[in-house]
Structure 1
Amino acid sequence: MNKIRPFGNDERGAIVVEFAIMLPFLILLVSGMTEVGRAYWQAIAVQKGVRAGALFAARADTPLSVIDQQRAVNLVRTGSVDGSGDLLVSGFGKSGASIDVATVGTFTVGTQDLPIIRVTAQVPFDPLFPNLFQFTGFGSHIITVSHEQAYVGD
Structure 2
Amino acid sequence: MIAMRNIVCALFHHFRSSEDGAVLTEALVAVPFVTLFAAGVLEFGNIFWQRMQIDSGLRDAGRYMSRCRPRPDPTDPTCDETAKKLAFYGTQASGAALRVPGWGDNLADITIIPVDVNGTITVQTSHLYRSSPIFSWLGIDAITITSSHQERYIGW
TM over 0.5: yes
- List runs of 5+ in structure 1 lacking aligned partners: 108-114
**Amino acid aligned to 2:47:** A
Equivalent residue in structure 2 for 1:23, among 12, 17, 31: 31
Bigger radius of gyration, 1 or 2? 2
The 5 A counterparts of 1:1-154 are 1-4=8-11, 5-62=13-70, 65-92=76-103, 98-107=109-118, 115-127=119-131, 129=132, 131-154=133-156
Measured on the aligned residues, the alpha-carbon RMSD in Å equals 2.1
Distance 2:84 2:97 in 1: 14
Superposed displacement of residue 152, structure 1: 1.3
Cα distance between partner residues in 2 of 1:146 and 1:32: 27
Unaligned runs of 5+ in 2: 1-7
1:75-134 Cα deviation digits (max 9, x unpaired): 111111245310000031679x71111215133xxxxxxx3211111111122x2x2122
Deviation at 1:71, TM superposition (A): 0.5
Output the amino acid matched with 1:50: L
TM-score, length of structure 1 as denominator length = 0.83
How many residues were matched structurally?
144
Q: Which amino acid aligns with 2:128?
A: P
| Aligned mates of 1:30, 1:12 — CA distance in 2 | 28
Q: Residue 5 of structure 2 aligns with which residue?
A: none
Per the normalisation by structure 2, the TM-score is 0.82
Whether contact under 8 Å (2:88, 2:104) holds in the other structure is no
2:134 partner SS: coil
CA distance in 2: counterparts of 1:150 and 1:27, whole angstroms: 47
1-structure distance, mates of 2:115, 2:137: 40
